[in-house]
Structure formats: C-alpha cells, structure tokens
C-alpha cells in the first residue's frame, strides 16, 4: 500500500507534535516541513532528517498539507494548496467563522477535486464530536463547555494571536473556568524595548478572541516562568435524568497534532471515493480517521 505523503506547514508546537504523530502511523510518511524563509537557516536537531523548505512545490509529491499555522492564515493557505491539488487539514479555531469558511473551502475543494478537513483540533474538533454525541445520547438538554478549570490551561489560538501584536516579544494566554461555562483569561507578555503595555492591553482586550471574557494582561520579564502546554476541558450536559461528563486533560498541541494527522487519513479516503469538498469532523465517518487495513481492524474494540 502506498503511504500517505504528508507535509507539515509551520513549525510551532503543533507542527512538532504532528511530526511525532506521523511516526506513530505506519500508513503515513513525512514529505517535509514548510517554514517561513527567515527560519530556514535555523539548525534544529529535530529537523536533521527532514526536508525543510519555504515553498511546498520544492517537496516531492504531497498528498495532504497539515496547516499548523495561526487560524487567520488558514483561509489563504487552503486556497493556495487546493490550487495545487493538495488536500488540507487545519484546526481553525474561531467557532463563529468556521461554517462560512467551510462553505468557501468546499467550493474550491470541489473545483480542484480535492478535500479539506477543517476545525480538526481539540475545540473545535474532538470536543465538537463529543458535544454531538451528547446531543445524540440525550436529545433534550443543555451542554456546557468549560476550559482550564481552576488551574488554568494554555489556549493556543489566544497565545498565537497575542504574539502577533506589535511590541510583544513572547506571550502565553491562559484560560480559567469562571463558572457555568464562562471563562476568564490571563495573558503574560514579554515586551520588546519601548513597547507600550497600555496599547497592547487594549489591543488584546478588543480582539474577538478575548473581548467576551474578563481579561488581565501582565508584563513579565521571563515568559518561561509562566508557560505551560497543558490544558483541560470538561463537557457537561444536563437532561432529563441524565448526567454526563467528559473530561480531557493533557498537552494541548499534542492532542491537536494527533487529531490533524488522523484527519489526513480521512482526506485520502474521501478523495478515493471522489467525495471532494471541505468537511468538519461531523461530516465524515469517524472510521475514516482510524488506522487499519480492513474493516475488522478499524472496528476492533467497537
């Protein structure tokens, strides 16, 4: 069987996690990593055995591109890779924009006879699947999603956004539970010289990622003291005589990377069935995300 050839786009925490996850999948191979030209010269032991390029066309044949880049850069990359006939997987994380973006991507995927799996991360992503499951198990009821608990956890999309604000050298954005599905945010920023903390604080608080929640911004000298990769989520649904709870806790970028790599497999299955288009996790059969050469292997443990 031909292995699925996968390229990693972006070399942050998720990109690194994808490289590790691809190694766990005997049906996949890593074609290479696409980075910004400015980063190409960096020597990293983790990339010694890997093709690192600035342009995906410099790699051998690529079946699927894993977009391990900030969400706001995703739409443009999907168009670019669709034009090259390459399937894409992303973990686009702005819930309210996802469906509209999916419609656009669906048109371009069909036009180029390729496939995208979108919102294939933790939330949106596998949490969305659990929320769907809860609606199936308990038709009436109300679902609450709570991130971070009392200890807080690192929100990747929020952290990535803060890092793009001028004057910010490094940042980590933590999310804490604030009761009944509400949240509060704590943002630690390491500033460049002459940066204006007040202006940066205003920019953070005004951004859609933050504006709904109480947010505190703190300037620190060394971000590493406040950093973490951990996060957790609790999903609850109340319903007639029903009490359900799903708790997932662990390393956020690692989870997201695992979901994205599994989605690469689902892209190829869809393509083989000529089911071109852009899909959320709910729109493809979950069996397509699982390893296994036969139905029995895929359904083992059902």
Q: Under the criterion CB under 8 A, does residue 208 sit at the interface with a copy of itself?
A: no
Query: What crossing angle do the helices spanning 156-163 and 252-272 adopt, rounded to 10°?
Result: 100
Q: Under the criterion CB under 8 A, does residue 131 sit at the interface with a copy of itself?
A: yes
Tell how strand 153-154 and strand 168-177 pair up: antiparallel
**Is 84 or 137 the residue whose CB approaches a copy of itself more closely?**
137
Query: What crossing angle do the helices spanning 13-23 and 252-272 adopt, rounded to 10°?
Result: 60
Other Cβ atoms closer than 10 A to 141: 15
Q: Under the criterion CB under 8 A, does residue 180 sit at the interface with a copy of itself?
A: no
Distance CA 106, CA 112 (A): 10
Q: Under the criterion CB under 8 A, does residue 165 sit at the interface with a copy of itself?
A: no
Q: Under the criterion CB under 8 A, does residue 240 sit at the interface with a copy of itself?
A: yes
Q: Under the criterion CB under 8 A, does residue 215 sit at the interface with a copy of itself?
A: no
**Is 54 or 107 the residue whose CB approaches a copy of itself more closely?**
107
Distance CA 301, CA 296 (A): 9
Q: Which of helix, strand or coil describes residue 277?
A: strand
Handedness of CA 253, 159, 126, 91 (dihedral sign): negative
DSSP letter string, 147-161: ESTTT-EE-HHHHHH
Does residue 258 have a cis peptide bond before it, meaning omega lies within 30 degrees of 0? no
In this chain, which of 208, 247, 272, 293 binds a copy of itself, going by CB under 8 A? 247
Distance CA 59, CA 32 (A): 7
- Quick one: which of 133, 148, 147 has its CA closest to 239? 133
In this chain, which of 30, 255, 264, 268 binds a copy of itself, going by CB under 8 A? 255
Q: What is the token pair recorded at 290? A: 């699982």
Q: How far is the CB of 4 from a copy of itself (least distance, A)?
A: 14
Q: Under the criterion CB under 8 A, does residue 248 sit at the interface with a copy of itself?
A: yes
**Is 124 or 152 the residue whose CB approaches a copy of itself more closely?**
124
Q: Interaction with a copy of itself in 17-46: which residues (CB under 8 A)?
A: 21, 24-25
In this chain, which of 7, 105, 161, 259 binds a copy of itself, going by CB under 8 A? 259
Helices (H) and strands (E) in the chain, counts: 8, 14
Q: Under the criterion CB under 8 A, does residue 88 sit at the interface with a copy of itself?
A: no
Query: Which of these ranges, 4-12, 130-138, 186-194, 213-221, lies near a copy of itself under the rule CB under 8 A?
Result: 130-138
Q: Under the criterion CB under 8 A, does residue 90 sit at the interface with a copy of itself?
A: no
Q: How far is the CB of 183 from a copy of itself (least distance, A)?
A: 16
Q: How far is the CB of 116 from a copy of itself (least distance, A)?
A: 15
> Biggest alpha carbon distance in the chain?
62
Q: Under the criterion CB under 8 A, does residue 107 sit at the interface with a copy of itself?
A: no
In this chain, which of 1, 38, 43, 136 binds a copy of itself, going by CB under 8 A? 136
- Quick one: which of 147, 13, 90, 46 has its CA closest to 264? 90
Residues that bind a copy of itself (CB under 8 A): 21, 24-25, 95, 98-99, 119, 122, 124, 126, 128-133, 135-140, 143, 240-251, 254-255, 258-259, 261-262, 280-287, 289-291, 295-296, 298-299, 301-302
């Amino acid at each position: 069987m031909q292995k699925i050839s996968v390229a990693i786009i972006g070399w942050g925490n998720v990109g690194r996690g994808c490289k590790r996850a691809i190694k766990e999948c005997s049906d996949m191979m890593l074609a290479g990593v696409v980075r910004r030209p400015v980063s190409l010269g960096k020597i990293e032991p983790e990339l010694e055995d890997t093709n690192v390029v600035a342009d995906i066309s410099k790699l051998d044949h690529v079946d699927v591109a894993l977009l391990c880049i900030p969400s706001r850069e995703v739409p443009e990359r999907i168009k670019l890779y669709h034009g090259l006939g390459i399937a894409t997987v992303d973990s686009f994380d702005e819930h309210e924009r996802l469906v509209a973006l999916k419609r656009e991507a669906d048109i371009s995927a069909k036009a180029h006879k390729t496939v995208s799996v979108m919102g294939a991360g933790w939330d949106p992503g596998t949490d969305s699947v659990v929320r769907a499951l809860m609606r199936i198990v308990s038709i009436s009821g109300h679902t609450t999603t709570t991130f971070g608990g009392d200890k807080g956890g690192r929100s990747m999309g929020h952290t990535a956004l803060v890092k793009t604000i001028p004057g910010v050298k490094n940042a980590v954005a933590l999310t804490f539970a604030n009761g009944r599905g509400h949240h509060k945010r704590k943002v630690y920023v390491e500033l460049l010289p002459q940066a204006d903390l007040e202006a940066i604080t205003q920019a953070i608080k005004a951004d859609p990622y933050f504006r709904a929640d109480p947010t505190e911004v703190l300037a620190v000298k060394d971000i590493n003291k406040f950093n973490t990769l951990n996060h957790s989520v609790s999903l609850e649904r109340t319903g007639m005589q029903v009490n359900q709870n799903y708790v997932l806790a662990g390393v956020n970028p690692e989870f997201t990377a695992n979901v994205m790599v599994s989605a690469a497999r689902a892209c190829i299955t869809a393509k083989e069935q000529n089911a071109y288009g852009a899909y959320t996790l709910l729109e493809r059969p979950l069996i397509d995300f699982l390893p296994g050469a036969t139905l029995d292997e895929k359904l083992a443990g059902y």
